[in-house]
Structure 1
């Protein structure tokens, strides 16, 4: 599993996260990086795994060339999500949620 921050959207990047959130994200992603995508699928969505979310539920609008029908949602600090998409073995992060509810409604 590889991570790309190349397509991070303005206002939802690493700079918006608290020091704790950045640390928790890095620690969790380091654990994920030791697994294959087939292994990650076996993990719960609120653990090291992910869930797929329809684009209509995401608040920010991605650049047109990065629009998807569904996005992958991983959690970092508690249930704070990082949302993006996968191409090959690479997860491309688009949005970090620093404040609960900024990227999508949590119900």
Structure 2
């Protein structure tokens, strides 16, 4: 009895392998960066309790997708966009005007403020004393 030769999948120079569809950052949890943190508002200026609260908030947010975070209340697990004209602290010059600055509540109502680039939230300020931007009355 003759054995059949195993054949692999047909290949053709006319057919190209399809790339896997790229996943949207909206469907992924955030990643956090301290790379551009401003010295006077650095996490190293926080007390041990405040650092714990910041880490706890980051841990909670890392269990959610960006889409879920966008749908959450701004004073809960969500965020708010802060207008540049509200800032008292100097905004780093590498941040062009089209980049939104956003705020998450991190230490009680005190925010961590930064910007988003894809999945990454770059934390610039931990605003423990509410002096980075005008919080209104």
1:11-26 superposed matches below 5 A: 11-26=40-55
Does 1:89 find its partner at 2:119? yes
1:67-86 superposed matches below 5 A: 67-69=96-98, 70-86=100-116
Residue-by-residue CA offset, 1:28-58 (whole Å, 9 max, x unaligned): 1101001110011111111111000111111
SS where residue 76 of structure 1 aligns? strand
Q: For 1:73 and 1:3, how far apart are their aligned partners in 2? A: 13
* TM-score, reference length from structure 1: 0.91
Unaligned runs of 5+ in 2: 1-29
| CA root-mean-square deviation | 1.2
User: Which residue does the alignment assign to 1:59?
Assistant: 88
* TM-score, reference length from structure 2: 0.73
- Structure exhibiting the larger radius of gyration computed from Cα positions: 2
- Between Structure 1 and Structure 2, which shows a larger proportion of strand residues? 1
CA contact (8 A) 1:16 1:98 kept: no
Unaligned runs of 5+ in 1: none
Following TM superposition, the consecutive aligned residue runs of length 4 or more in structure 1 with deviations greater than 4 angstroms are none
